[in-house]
Amino acid sequence: MRDKLLALAALQKVDLDIAALQKNAEAYPREIAELEKQLAQARAAVDAERTRLEELDKQKVNLEHTITDDKDKVRKWEARLTEQRSTREYSALAREIDIAKKGQQTMAEEVVELGKQATLQREAVKQKDADFQVKAKDLVEKVDQLKGKLKDVQAQIAGIDGARTEAAKQVDSGLLKRYDTIRKKRLPALVAAVAPGTCTGCRMNIRPQLYNQLVASRGLDVCPSCSRMVYAAEALEAATPK
């Protein structure tokens, strides 16, 4: 029984190593996702500034086209002034021309203001883009580093999986089946009971009779509290070569 216990303990050591590596591996994708999220947000901030610049340029161009069209209309009206037969018609058209020219002046001032805003916005885009390039380089480097670490851990896990296969071959088939069933729910699945009768897996006391039986038999049983496979610590110590 001692040899079986040793084989099972050796298998669990491999499983604990695998579990530790898997825990590290699980953290890397989350960290990578967070960094990629930061990168996307930084890119979106630059795009927002660039969109704002495009809107200003578009407003300026549209207003310039409106002014051009309005001037053409005013020139046609001015050409019609001499054709007016009555003072009333002449005055009405002249008033429309005056209103149109004032409107053109207002729009021209808006064009100038839009030009100023676009200039400032263009500088803002330039600065934002420069900041983004620096931040993006840093974030991409961090992502690449994490991906490299993840790849290394995955390679280690793949290597240990081979060792586990070999370790599992040394374990009694019946014990292996029981162990794997428990391992899928909690790890460690195999734990020691120490004097005066405490399960090291759940820290709960076990019955004195059960503990004494484990000490005497150097065998295995089940902890009533956590359902792990439990053995007396002395059993493994006695089985370990000096």
> Where do the domains of the chain lie, and which CATH numbers do they carry?
10-169 (1.10.287.1490), 173-239 (no CATH)
- Number of other CB atoms surrounding residue 84 within 10 Å: 14
90-130 pLDDT, tens digit each: 999 999 999 999 999 999 999 999 999 999 999 999 999 99
Q: What DSSP designation does 240 have?
A: S
Q: Is-above-0.85 flag for pTM?
A: no
Among residues 136, 117, 140, 138, which one has the least CA distance to residue 128? 136
How does residue 241 score in pLDDT terms, banded at 50, 70 and 90? very low
Whether residue 133 contacts residue 45, with contact meaning beta carbons closer than 8 Å, is answered with no
How does residue 235 score in pLDDT terms, banded at 50, 70 and 90? confident
pLDDT of residue 218: 87
17-65 pLDDT, tens digit each: 999 998 888 889 999 999 999 999 999 999 999 999 999 999 999 999 9
Check the CA dihedral 202-208-211-215 and report its sign.
Answer: positive
How does residue 84 score in pLDDT terms, banded at 50, 70 and 90? confident
The radius of gyration of the chain from alpha carbons, rounded to an integer in Å, stands at 41
pLDDT of residue 192: 95
